[in-house]
């Protein structure tokens, strides 16, 4: 099975302009993500719509493709990057791993865990979750929570804390069950990626602003992999300063 890692990277960001190119201890953030990804995948490409990002990736010797500015989701950008990469490498990749370009602390083991989800030939789409260990995460509006069944298939993704522990004070919820938050890594078979990218936005996707709910709402399945490796996305200048102190 041939895997292709795709890192969508847009220059524009409402909270941190030029985010992929911000310097983290001598390297642009996109380089940190690319190099971590290459430790787990042979084929990796950055998919962007900006010449400045292309120049930066070329400077550190990475592979990059220009994609349309019209894409409104990372999934659609991934589909175009897959199609171009198939032509460049003269091969048909079986599975695409979609890696967020704003996670310089990505652990290669996370990608390996995601790849293992495709050992099951019935896997259409896969993603990672991590157990909540800090109660403060249940109060964090930026977290996304996940419930899944005994077969490791996602039931729902929400920006609200799920499940709700009825009749118990919120401060005691973690004594009753394990909560899981979502990490923004996805794997798709090539066929599913094309189908997913061409589906219209669904109601639950629009309400939650969570693209993965589109697949569930259309009857698809999402396999869940569990990782213990924390990840810190860079969304703000404060996040960036925090990362600069951690990464040496």
Residues 6+ apart with CB under 8 A from 179: 131, 132, 137, 138, 145, 161, 173
User: Torsions phi, psi of 198, nearest 5?
Assistant: -100, 0
pLDDT score for 45: 97
For residue 17, pLDDT over 80 is answered with no
Q: Could you tell me if 66 and 73 are in contact, meaning their C-beta atoms sit under 8 angstroms apart? A: no
Could you tell me the residue ranges of all domains in the chain?
1-103+232-248, 107-230
pLDDT score for 234: 85
Q: In this predicted structure, which of 50-59, 139-148, 174-183 has the lowest mean pLDDT?
A: 139-148
Q: CATH for 107-230? A: 3.90.550.10
Work out the percent of the chain whose per-residue pLDDT is above 70.
99
Q: Do the two domains 1-103+232-248 and 107-230 of this chain adopt the same fold?
A: yes
The interaxial angle of helices 74-89 and 190-197, nearest 10 deg, is 140
pLDDT score for 87: 95
- The pTM of this model reads 0.91
- Segment 30-55, tens digit of pLDDT: 999 999 999 999 999 999 999 999 99
Rounded Cα–Cα distance for residues 217 and 187 (Å): 18
Burial class (CB in 10 A: 0-12, 13-18, 19+), 189: buried
Among the four given CATH numbers 3.90.550.10, 3.40.190.10, 3.40.50.12780, 3.40.50.150, the one describing domain 1-103+232-248: 3.90.550.10
Average of per-residue pLDDT values in the chain: 93
For residue 12, pLDDT over 80 is answered with no
Q: What is the DSSP letter of 168?
A: S
Q: In this predicted structure, which of 13-22, 97-106, 121-130, 173-182 has the lowest mean pLDDT?
A: 13-22
């Amino acid at each position: 099975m041939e895997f292709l890692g795709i890192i969508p990277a847009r220059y524009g960001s409402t909270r941190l302009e030029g985010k992929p190119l911000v310097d983290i201890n001598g390297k642009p953030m996109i380089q940190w993500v690319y190099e971590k990804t290459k430790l787990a995948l042979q084929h990796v490409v950055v998919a962007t719509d900006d010449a400045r990002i292309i120049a930066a990736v070329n400077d550190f010797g990475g592979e990059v493709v220009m994609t349309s500015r019209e894409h409104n989701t990372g999934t659609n950008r991934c589909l175009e990057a897959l199609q171009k990469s198939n032509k460049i490498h003269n091969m048909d990749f079986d599975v695409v791993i979609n890696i967020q370009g704003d996670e310089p602390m990505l652990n290669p083991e996370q990608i390996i865990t995601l790849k293992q989800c495709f050992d099951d030939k019935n896997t259409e789409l896969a993603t990672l979750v991590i157990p909540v260990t800090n109660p403060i995460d249940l109060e964090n509006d930026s977290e996304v929570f996940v419930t899944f069944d005994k077969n490791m298939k996602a039931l729902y993704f929400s920006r609200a804390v799920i499940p709700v522990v009825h009749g118990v004070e919120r401060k005691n919820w973690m004594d009753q069950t394990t909560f899981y938050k979502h990490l923004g890594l996805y794997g798709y078979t090539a066929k599913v990626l094309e189908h997913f990218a061409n589906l219209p936005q669904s109601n639950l996707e629009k309400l939650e602003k969570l693209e993965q709910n589109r697949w569930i709402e259309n009857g698809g399945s999402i396999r869940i992999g569990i990782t213990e490796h924390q990840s810190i996305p860079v969304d703000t200048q404060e996040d960036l300063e925090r990362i600069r102190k951690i990464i040496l």
